[in-house]
């Protein structure tokens, strides 16, 4: 191994090896009290006890030592809006009014390549500062926003999934495309960026309210032509949204049925929210192996409703579930804050969500739902070295609380989950590089 390419992280290493729903909490993870993660040319080459692996490192290989912190895979966010960084925390409305009053106004600015480039830098800075190394991202309707985002992601070496929103109605003229231009622009961006390095394209009809039948047909054509590309949209977020959707597509029986009719369901299709699903919709998502993205801070902030994890993930027709921030309807870039609000939503429904299950979903679980489990989401040989280092004692209150924790990893994770935020992120690594 060339010395210049080899480095290591030493500390308390935690990675997940199985879904806790399948094997139980005690058997779902690997924890090393004094572990070493060896990185060679951006990939993990070995993980084990530090005492065993340190002697095998090349002379002069740097070792970043975190004696008290936890070293985990980088967080993965499955639903977030890149042009909404200045919309987050906008007061006082529910979904449809919020879009018109705040979001659509802000997104119009992303036609300007300079504005989009500056926005992309801020957005990726925030993700990485919060320990998120991969995200599934909505850009604006403008190709310039997608170009800016992918260019910045490529420069940083992050693995990202992103796409131009397609929307040809019920939005300001400056945000609308047409069925043909939406298709043409999406296809050109897809052909340029999908699988270029660590970038992935996602076909993104925003939601049924902003896409006509003709545009849905064009989205369907893109999926047929590129069946291995991701799809993302919004589904059953708000009761008024659902009622409006049904007036726009009166011949189809359900919101999910619209996407099913146009061939948009599938194992690489991510549906944001899924709060108010009918039984037949759950069955359709389950049968197509589609993904539901749980966006807790957004659902609370916009008053949309309570996501029913048990019904979807563990019901008779199980649906793949991921967790996401949904900034800017969501109120934090932090996956720790997001998990805390998810816990409270589930508590209101008498559903338990242990910290080990939450951290599994934020890392290995989200990676598997995206079909990226062979690349990211775990700390094991062959995986890309996207890593977050967490300090559970980062604030005085957490330091005080941790004094009562005596080696219980599950309790430490729960404290991070309930009290943590960006201040707990000691370091973030992308492909082995500390960023």
- pLDDT score of 4: 53
How far apart, in whole angstroms, are the C-alpha atoms of residue 417 and residue 358? 8
Q: Does domain 3-74+377-434 have CATH number 3.30.110.30?
A: no
Tokens of 385: 């070295």
| Rg (the chain; Cα; Å) | 21
pTM over the 0.75 mark? yes
Q: Is 51 exposed, middle or buried (0-12, 13-18, 19+ CB in 10 A)?
A: exposed
Q: At residue 363, does pLDDT exceed 70?
A: yes
How far apart, in whole angstroms, are the C-alpha atoms of residue 261 and residue 257? 6
Using an 8 Å Cβ cutoff, are 359 and 366 in contact?
A: no
How far apart, in whole angstroms, are the C-alpha atoms of residue 76 and residue 18? 17
Report helix angle 409-419 to 335-347, nearest 10: 100
For the segment 104-141, what is each residue's pLDDT rounded down to a tens digit?
999 999 999 999 999 999 999 999 999 999 999 999 99
As beta bridge partners, residue 6 has 40
Give residue 47's region: left, alpha or beta (phi > 0; psi -120 to 50): beta
How far apart, in whole angstroms, are the C-alpha atoms of residue 205 and residue 164? 8
CATH topology classification for 75-369: TIM Barrel (3.20.20)
- pLDDT score of 2: 40
Q: At residue 305, does pLDDT exceed 60?
A: yes
Using an 8 Å Cβ cutoff, are 132 and 74 in contact?
A: yes
Question: Confidence band (pLDDT; 50, 70, 90) for 191?
Answer: very high
Q: At residue 3, does pLDDT exceed 90?
A: no
Closest CA to 174 of 100, 101, 109: 109
Distance of CA 296 to the CA centre of its chain: 13
Residue showing tokens 């969501």: 330
Mean pLDDT of the chain: 97
How far apart, in whole angstroms, are the C-alpha atoms of residue 353 and residue 297? 16
At residue 41, the 3 state secondary structure works out as coil
DSSP state letter for 27: G
Question: Confidence band (pLDDT; 50, 70, 90) for 1?
Answer: very low
For the segment 137-177, what is each residue's pLDDT rounded down to a tens digit?
999 999 999 999 999 999 999 999 999 999 999 999 999 99
Where are the chain's structural domains? 3-74+377-434, 75-369
For the segment 196-225, what is each residue's pLDDT rounded down to a tens digit?
999 999 999 999 999 999 999 999 999 999
Q: CA torsion angle for 166, 239, 172, 259 (degrees, to 10)?
A: 20
How far apart, in whole angstroms, are the C-alpha atoms of residue 291 and residue 325? 15
For the segment 36-88, what is each residue's pLDDT rounded down to a tens digit?
999 999 999 999 999 999 999 999 999 999 999 999 999 999 999 999 999 99
Neighbour count for residue 125 (Cβ, 10 Å)? 14
Torsional sign, CA 361, 363, 365, 371: positive
At residue 69, the 3 state secondary structure works out as strand
Residue showing tokens 């009719």: 261
Mean per-residue pLDDT, 371-390: 98
């Amino acid at each position: 191994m060339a010395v210049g390419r080899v480095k290591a992280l030493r500390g308390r290493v935690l990675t997940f090896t199985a879904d806790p729903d399948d094997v139980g909490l005690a058997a779902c993870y690997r924890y090393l009290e004094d572990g070493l993660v060896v990185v060679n040319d951006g990939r993990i080459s070995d993980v084990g006890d530090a005492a065993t692996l340190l002697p095998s490192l090349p002379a002069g290989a740097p070792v970043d030592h975190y004696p008290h912190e936890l070293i985990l895979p980088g967080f993965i966010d499955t639903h977030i809006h890149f042009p909404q960084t200045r919309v987050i925390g906008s007061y006082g409305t529910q979904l449809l009014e919020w879009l018109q009053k705040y979001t659509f106004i802000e997104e119009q600015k992303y036609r300007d390549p300079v504005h989009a480039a500056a926005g992309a830098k801020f957005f990726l800075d925030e993700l990485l500062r919060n320990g998120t190394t991969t995200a599934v991202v909505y850009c604006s309707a403008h190709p310039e926003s997608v170009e800016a985002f992918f260019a910045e992601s490529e420069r940083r070496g992050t693995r990202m999934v992103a796409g131009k929103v397609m929307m040809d109605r019920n939005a300001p003229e400056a945000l609308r495309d047409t069925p043909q231009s939406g298709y043409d622009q999406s296809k050109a961006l897809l052909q340029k960026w999908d699988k270029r390095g660590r970038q992935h394209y996602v076909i993104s009809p925003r939601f049924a309210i902003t896409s006509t039948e003709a545009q849905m047909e064009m989205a369907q054509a893109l999926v047929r032509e590129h069946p291995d590309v991701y799809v993302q949209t919004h589904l059953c977020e708000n009761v008024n949204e659902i009622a409006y959707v049904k007036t726009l597509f009166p011949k189809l029986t359900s919101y999910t049925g619209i996407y099913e009719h146009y061939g948009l369901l599938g194992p690489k299709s991510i549906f944001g929210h899924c709060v108010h699903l009918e039984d037949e919709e759950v069955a359709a998502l389950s049968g197509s192996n589609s993904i539901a993205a749980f966006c807790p801070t957004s659902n609370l902030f916009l008053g949309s409703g309570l996501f029913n994890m048990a019904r979807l993930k563990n019901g008779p027709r199980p649906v793949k579930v991921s967790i996401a921030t949904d900034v800017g309807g969501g109120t934090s870039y932090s996956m720790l804050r997001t998990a805390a609000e998810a816990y409270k939503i589930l508590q209101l429904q008498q559903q338990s969500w242990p910290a080990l299950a939450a951290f599994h979903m934020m890392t290995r679980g989200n990676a598997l739902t995206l079909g990226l489990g062979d690349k990211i989401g775990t700390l094991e040989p062959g995986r890309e070295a996207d890593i977050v280092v967490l300090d559970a004692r980062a604030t005085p209150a957490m330091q005080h609380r941790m004094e009562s924790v005596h080696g219980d990893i599950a309790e430490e994770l729960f404290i991070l989950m309930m009290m943590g935020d960006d201040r707990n992120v000691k370091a973030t690594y992308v492909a082995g590089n500390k960023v």
